[in-house]
Structure 1
Amino acid sequence: MTKYEDSLPLQLIRARDVSMDYFRPILADNEITEQQWRVMRVLDTLGEIDFSTLSRECCILGPSLTGIVSRLEKMGYVQRKKSANDGRKYYIHLTNKAKTLVDDLRPLIEAQYIELKAKLGEEKYRQLSSLLNALIDTKEQ
C-alpha cells in the first residue's frame, strides 16, 4: 500500500493549501471567500452562464453553489436571470460592481502568481501545471 505521505489526494490538498496561502490575504482584505472568488473568476472569463455550467466549471456542488450565489447576489456582485425557454433554469452574470472588483484584484493576484512562480521556478511551475492537466484529462478518457 502507498505510504500516506505519498498519497496523491493528500499531496494535492496540501499543495492547494500552500498555493492558496498566496491569495487568501487578498481575498480576505476584500471580504470575499475563495469560493466566491472562484465563481467571479469563472463568470469573468466565460460571461453569463447557466447554474449547471457554473457548478461544473467552479467544481462546486449545486447545493453549496446556491448559497454562494445567494451571498454574492446580496453583496451586489452577481445577478440571476431566468431562462426565457425553461422556467427551471437560470443564468448568472457579474454586475459592474463585481467587474470593477475583479479588475482591481487582477494585478494583486497576478503579483502573487509571479511570486509563486519565482519560488517554484518558472519551468517547475509549467511542469506542475502540465502534469495536473494531464491528471485531470484522465477523467475524460
Structure 2
Amino acid sequence: MALTDYIIHERIPSISEHQYLWEAVGWGSINTERSEGSLKNSLYGVVATVNDEPVGMGRIVGDNFMFFYIQDVAILPSYQGLGLGKQIVNHLLEYIKKRCLNNGIAFVGLFASEGKEAFYEKFGFNNHSPHMTGMFTVIED
C-alpha cells in the first residue's frame, strides 16, 4: 500500500480519535475520562487522516520552554512502514525547534514501544545508559 491522500492536521486528537488509535496499536484499553484531561493539557499535537478517518497521531506535553515529552505517536497498523510516523515526528520536532530561542536548549524525551527503538534513533534519540537511565513509575488510585 502506498501512502497517498493523507492530511496532517495540527491539532490535539479528539478523545475518540485518541482512544481509537491507542487501542488499535495494542496499548490496551484507556480510561477516556483520564485521557480527556491529559489531552486538554497537551502543548501541541497532530492527527493524520485519510478520507476524514484518523490513521495516526502524536502529541507533545511538557513545560513548553525547556522540557518536552513526545507522547502517543501511534499509526494504525495497516499504515505503518509507509512514512507517516516519520512525518508526524518531524511535525512534533519542528514545534520544539521553534521554541529553542536565543540558542536555547530543549530536552526531549519519549518512550519507544518494544521494537521501535531504531525508528526513533533516526531522529537522534538514544539510550544513554549506563550514565543516564530513563525511569518512571505508575501511580494508580
Q: TM-score, normalised by structure 2?
A: 0.30
Q: Which has the larger radius of gyration?
A: 1
Q: TM-score, normalised by structure 1?
A: 0.30
- Greater strand share, structure number: 2
